[in-house]
Amino acid sequence: MELEGLVSKRRDRPYRAGKCPDWIKVKNGKHPSIDRVKEAFA
C-alpha cells in the first residue's frame, strides 16, 4: 500500500481527539518521505 506510517492508540486509554500522548505514529522506514526527513536533519 506504500503507506508513510501508521497511527495507533494505546488500548488501555479512552479515545480522545487531537494530540495527546496516547496516540503513537510509527513511520515506515522504506517510504520515500523518510529520505526527505533524513536530508532535512543531516
Query: Rounded to whole angstroms, how far apart are CA atoms 24 and 17?
Result: 13
Query: What size, in residues, is the chain?
Result: 42
In this prediction the pTM is 0.43
The per-residue pLDDT for range 23-41, each reduced to its tens digit, is 888 888 778 877 777 788 8
The per-residue pLDDT for range 8-21, each reduced to its tens digit, is 888 898 888 888 88
Selection from 35, 30, 24 nearest residue 2 by Cα:
30
- Torsions phi, psi for 25 (to 5 deg): -105, 125
Query: Rounded to whole angstroms, how far apart are CA atoms 20 and 35?
Result: 27
Strand spans (E) along 1-42: 5-9, 23-27
